[in-house]
Structure formats: C-alpha cells, structure tokens
Structure 1
C-alpha cells in the first residue's frame, strides 16, 4: 500500500511496507513513458499493430453502410438506443468469456482474476471508465442521427475531424507532445476533409424545426467533440490502470455503457408507453449485423486505447473512408465526386506525414537522463507499467527494467 507525500511541485509515493519512495505518475509521465516504450516495439508488435489497423478499417468501413441499410424509407423502424444497448450487452458477454479463458490459463502464484477481492478492487480503481462509457452512449446515438443528414462516406469523413480535437485533448490532459510537422499534418487532414465536404449538405429538409444546414452543423459539432473526449478519457483510464486485465476493464466500461443505455430505454418507455420497451421491435438482419459489427469494433478499440494509441486508432479509421466511399457507391449508387477523391488524397498525405520518422518528437535529455516534471529520473529505472499505473492501493513498488516489453500482448 502506498501513500502520497507532498514534495514541492511534484508528488511522491511511499510504500507502507519498505518505505521506498517513487515519483507519482503525472499525465506527462504517462505520455513520455508511452513515447519511450513505443520506440522499442518488436517486429511482432508492429505486425499486431498492422492487424489491428486492418481489422479496424474493415469494421469501421462497414459501420455506416450497415446503418444506411438499416433505414426503411429514409427512417429507422427500430430504436437506435436498443441497438446500442444490445451492442454493449454483447461486448460484456464477450469480455466475461475472455476473462474466464484468461483465468484458466493463469500460472501458479499469479493474482487470481476471478476472486471477489480482485473484482472489487479493480472496480474501484477503474471507476473513471464510467466517464467515457457515458460519452460513448451519447455518441452511439448520434451516429444514427448523422445518417439522416449525410451519406455513409460523408459521415466517415466528418468523423475524421475528431483527430485534431483528440490531439488537442491529448496535449491538455495527457501532456502528449507533437512536433510542428505533426501539427501541420493534422492541418492537412482538416483541409482534406473540408475539400470533400464542399456542397455535401442535402437540401430541402428540416430537423427539430431548424434549417437542415444549422441542424447538421450542430450535430456535427457534438458528433466530433463528444467521442473525442470519450477516446482520450478512455485511453487515460485504460493506461492508468495498466496492471488490470483488459477484459476486466472492458466488463466495467461496457457494463457502464449498458446501464446508461438501459436507463435511456426506461426513460423513453415512461414517456411513450410500455410498448416502446420492446428492444427487439423493428430489427432486421441488417441491424443484427450492425450490432455484431459495433460490438467487434468496440472490442478492437479497447486494444488500441490500452496497448497502442488514440491517434493511430483515428487514422486507421480514416483509411476506412475510401472503403466506405467505394462500397456505398457500389451498393447505393452514391457518386464519388472529384472533391471526395481530392480529399482522400490529402488525407493520405497527412497520414504519411504524421507518422514519418522525420516528424518524431525529439526527447528532452540531459546527461543521459530524461526530465520528468522538473526532476531528473533515469527512465530505465522505472517500468512502463508503474509509470502508467495510478496511485492505487495495489500499485507495485518494485523497480525493474522493462524496456523490452512489447507494446501489444503476444
């Protein structure tokens, strides 16, 4: 058990057993620990990163198409909240199944995953996951609303605006550092999206008594800001409790999400009557595929947030735009305009520039040591897990080198 000790501008932790002292992790510490750790990933980890990106592109690319296929006469015959609830429930069941599988493969002497004490302690340490769960519940509903204004390819391009918002939030909340070249790449991304969006709004429709352009822009603003905050809080919550099993964290995250959506269903039932409580009303094969796709997409996203990076997740979603555009053109006859093709080209240039080795932020070093929040600490003396783990009761106080540990689980 560790306790906080005030120490000038920073905070240290003192172990109650051996009374050793460590610097408490801060958002900048988490960020720099991640940057240093990411630079030593193995070829297997890069391969897993590639598989994550490919899987994410396929799932994210299909998502707006399945939503479009679920509409009847331009409207939804089902409650979008019911789809979100069933999606969260499916993810909870998958997380439970994987946690049971992981528990069966535990070695002798390891901390049991299925004990009540472990579950209770993990629930208390991961309570922050309720914040992104609530924000995701709002965002998942907005995904359906946006389909009433834009075609699938346009919705996908609009969602790419989140990358810039996420970068700003990462810098503010997690103290992530981006080079000038990377900020320029994000600016190029905005330009590419803007080129694609020229004259993309439908005409002659109204929503909530507002002109369609006004309503669409309001929903777009919310559609961009809410999931961006959810992604950053999700990554911070996942990485700050790095020792907790990802499947256990998913149980909490998706469990909170299911609760929020269930409360919304109950509220609608109280307002419209008991008949609206039928969560399977109006569902079709397309909606069942949509539920499966959304569940798989959410599970894959959790691995991005814990073992990879939010920016990588959003850029991989950007790659899905070209797939969405081509598929929607083939299936629904949507036109691939010159604006769309130019926008996609600029987006790919932005992505190449952002991840170029020339754009990498140089570490601030002094005599072989890294400056962590005003104090010189040798990075090799503090493991990545201890840096990202918060000041929890079961935080380890062991100081061992772990620089060679892969970014993704092998």
Structure 2
C-alpha cells in the first residue's frame, strides 16, 4: 500500500482524453448549479409554485432534442432512420452473418433503457422533494451514502474487484461526508410529505433537528441514493458493453430520454397530487406561462441546467467510471459549502473543514489507483475481422458498408 501511495497521480487513467477534465469540471459545476437553482426557486413554506414533474418532463424533452441535434451533425437523416428502424437489407450471406448480432441488439436498446430511464425519472423528481426539505449542503452530504453502494454494484456488473486502496478511499470519503452529521446544533424546517410526494404536496410541520435518525425525508434520500447508484452503473454498463459500442452515444441518449419522457408522462397522469384536478395540457400551459411571464425565471435555467447535466453525465460515463463520478459528487459538497458561505453567509464549521480534509485525502488515494474501465473491443468488429480474413478481403470496416452496397460480389485478394 505504501508503495502505491508513493506513485505519482496517473492523470491519464483519471482523464483518458483532453476533454475528460473539461467534462469532469462541467459535471461538478452543473450539479452545484442544480442545487442552488432549485433551492432558490423554493417558497418560504419550502414548496414550489410550479409543477415539478412538468419541469422534469420539459427537461427530458430538451435533452431528447439536443441529443438528436448532436447526432444529426455527423449522421444523415436516412442513416438516422436506418439506425432507429434497422431496415437494412443485403443478399450476401456473410453480410447477414456479420451484422445480425448488431441489428438485434440495437432493436433491444429502446427497451433496455427503460430501466435506467425509470430510475432517473424517480431520481430527478426526488431531487425536488429532498431539496425542499434540506439545504443544498445537507442534501449533497446525504447523497454521499451512494459511495459504498456504487462500489458494490460496480464490482457485480463489471466483475472487477476493487483493491484495498480503492476500498480505503471509498470508506474515507464516506466517513468524511458522515462527519458533518455530528453537527446537530442547527435545526431544519421540514414539511410533511405524502407517499405520492413526487408531486411535492407539502403541509408545514414543526421544525425537527437534522439529527433525527428515521424520518420520511431520510427514506426519500435513501431511495434517491439507490436510484442514482443503480441507474448510473447500469447506464455505464449499457454504454460500454459489447452490444452498444457500435451505437452512437447520442443515439443511445435519445433512446433513454424518450423512455424517460414516457415515464414522466405516466407519473404526471397518475401520481400528480400537486395539481391533481388539472389536465396535462393545463399543467403544461401553467408552467409555460410562469416561464414566459417572468414570475419564475429560475424555471427556465433549471430546465437548461438539468438538460446539460444529462448530456454531460452520458459523456462522463462514456469515458470515465461511476466511481470517479461519485467522487465528483463528493467534491460538489465541498464547493457547495463554500458557495453557501459566500452567497448566504452560512459559516464553514469545524465539521465541514474536517470533512473537506478527509474527502480531499480520499480523492488523492483514489487518483493514484483509479478504476479503469475502458469500452471493450466489440464483438461486432471481431466478427467482421474474422469474416474478412477468411474471405481474403482487404476492405476496411469503415467503408465496408458502402462497398457491400455498390460493389456486390467484388473482392480484393491479398
């Protein structure tokens, strides 16, 4: 362990590409903005003047449109339609043999992404619920319980065993975040939350201390932790697995955002208690009216910020790991505390200072021995190479599609 500690930080493993560090910083900044913006949109009674499910749904629509626009920058409309419908034809037996695996799995992606989409739908709505009950610093603090959960799920899905240093860094990070819970002197006003609280129907309740061990707000935090851990690692599994590496990441995002739109629509139709007597059209029109009238300017920025969070998160998971994502989330806690001190004059206590020190040391431990999980060499490419070698064909995989379509039967012999 001491030998490992003496090694220099391997930034190449931490940030595989030059853009990785930019994505890392953007990821942290956007999530910090999320907590501050949502908190700023609360009323004095710790509720919201707008329908939060509609805001989450509009965010998913913006994500979906953005992903399609980015995808269209490098793909034609016909190629996009072919990628979605997979209406490819071909008479060559070996062409059918090569692409059958690729075609079948892409068709399944729309359904596979329903799992992370449903979890992210719940996570995004719970974010509004929990931020209505906690200040941003406490909210990000409690979310750090996902550190150990993420490590366990990471091992199960990717069949990778974390080293002692990696486990030590995870445990130190968790300990550093929990230390702030010893600060029991202040009280937090909360509100009574019903079981259908994805709609944020609040009733004022007397203040309770943050030291309460079991309450409905802690339960919602734990549910959000589970959604974050499982959805994040499962999404990384889809992005990096053999069945998806031939599919453009933005097309995969489009699948997930489309599924998430459906999930939020179902949530809005059947579980909305904030505006239960209004139709879906009225709920949308009311929210849009608040945005355009300028009464709730923060709604617009919340939608844009959360949409950017979704895009950046997918890029983050494509090039880095959920473990590094978790550490980025831990650093959010530190910077949120500093910003809360600057903007809202909330003092940085000895507990916060100690947590900053422990978490920073945990980040250093992880940085010298990071979990590296680059995308695998695809089965599709292996099959293509095998077929081409047997057939003595020197066509590259990049132009094989076009040559197979227009030069049927033509071969270049080595």
User: TM-score scaled to structure 1, two decimals?
Assistant: 0.73
Matching of residue 207 in structure 1 with residue 213 in structure 2? no
Matched, 1:274 2:278: yes
* Distance apart, 1:220 and its partner CA: 2.0
1:124 corresponding residue in structure 2: 108
SS in 2 for 1:196: helix
Question: Is 1:180 paired with 2:164?
Answer: yes
Look up the SS of the partner of 1:75 in the other structure. Answer: coil
Cα distance in 2 between the residues matched to 1:233 and 1:319: 23
Q: Distance in 2 between matches of 1:115 and 1:303?
A: 23
In 2, Cα distance between the equivalents of 1:90 and 1:47?
A: 27
Q: Deviations over 1:335-375 (max 9, x none)?
A: 32221121121111111101214x779xxxxxxxxxxxxxx
Question: What is residue 199 of structure 2 aligned with on the other side?
Answer: none
Match of 2:61 in 1: 89
Match of 2:247 in 1: 244
The answer for the alignment partner of 1:197 in structure 2 is 181
Aligned length: 330
User: What CA distance in whole angstroms lies between the structure 2 residues aligned with 1:185 and 1:247?
Assistant: 33
Whether contact under 8 Å (2:14, 2:320) holds in the other structure is no
Q: Is the 8 A contact 1:123 1:252 kept in 2?
A: no
Please report the TM-score for the alignment, with normalisation by the length of structure 2.
0.72
Shift of 1:223: 1.9
2: CA distance, partners of 1:62 / 1:117? 35
Greater Rg by CA: 2
* 1:113/1:119 contact within 8 Å kept: no
Give ranges in structure 1 of 5+ residues lacking alignment: 1-38, 107-111, 362-382, 401-410
SS in 1 for 2:75: helix
Alpha-carbon contact 2:183-2:351 (below 8 Å) kept: no
* Distance across 2 between alignment mates of 1:185 and 1:41: 19
Question: Separation in 1 of the partners of 2:19 and 2:188?
Answer: 44
1:333 aligns to 2:345 (yes or no): yes
User: How far 1:48 sits from its partner (Å)?
Assistant: 1.7
Larger fraction in helix: 2
Paired residues for 1:87-166 under 5 Å: 87-104=59-76, 113-116=79-82, 118-120=84-86, 121=103, 122-166=106-150
2-side partners of 1:40 and 1:296: how far apart? 25
- Residue 76 of structure 1 aligns to a residue in which SS? coil
Q: CA–CA distance in 2 between the matches of 1:249 and 1:395?
A: 22
How far 1:52 moved relative to its partner?
1.1
Q: Matched residues in 2 for 1:236 and 1:161: separation?
A: 21
User: Residues 175 and 88 of structure 1: is their aligned pair in 2 closer, same or farther, counting only changes over 3 Å?
Assistant: same
Q: 1:108-147: per-residue Cα shift (whole Å, max 9, x none)?
A: xxxx731335444434245211100000000111111111
Find the counterpart in structure 1 of residue 258 from structure 2.
255
SS at match of 1:336: coil
* Structure having the larger proportion of residues in strand: 1
RMSD: 3.1
CA contact (8 A) 1:179 1:360 kept: no
**Matching of residues 6-405 of structure 1 within 5 Å:** 45-73=16-44, 74-104=46-76, 113-116=79-82, 118-120=84-86, 121=103, 122-199=106-183, 202-203=187-188, 205-208=190-193, 213=212, 214-240=215-241, 241-268=244-271, 272-274=276-278, 277-279=282-284, 280-281=286-287, 282-283=290-291, 284-357=296-369, 384-386=376-378, 396-398=383-385
Q: Which residue of structure 2 lines up, in the alignment, with residue 375 of structure 1? A: none
State whether residues 146 and 216 of structure 1, in contact with CA within 8 Å, keep that contact through their aligned partners in structure 2.
yes
Structure 2 CA distance for partners of 1:87 and 1:353, relative to 1, 3 Å: same
Residue 396 of structure 1: CA displacement? 4.0
SS of the residue aligned with 2:327? helix
Segments of 5+ residues of structure 2 without an aligned counterpart are 1-9, 87-102, 195-204, 389-414
CA distance in 1 between partners of 2:306 and 2:189 (Å)? 31
Q: Distance in 2 between matches of 1:285 and 1:92?
A: 22
Which whole-Å deviations, capped at 9, do the CAs of 1:2-28 have from their partners, x for residues lacking one?
xxxxxxxxxxxxxxxxxxxxxxxxxxx
Aligned to 2:408: none
- CA distance in structure 2 between the partners assigned to 1:145 and 1:133 by the alignment: 19
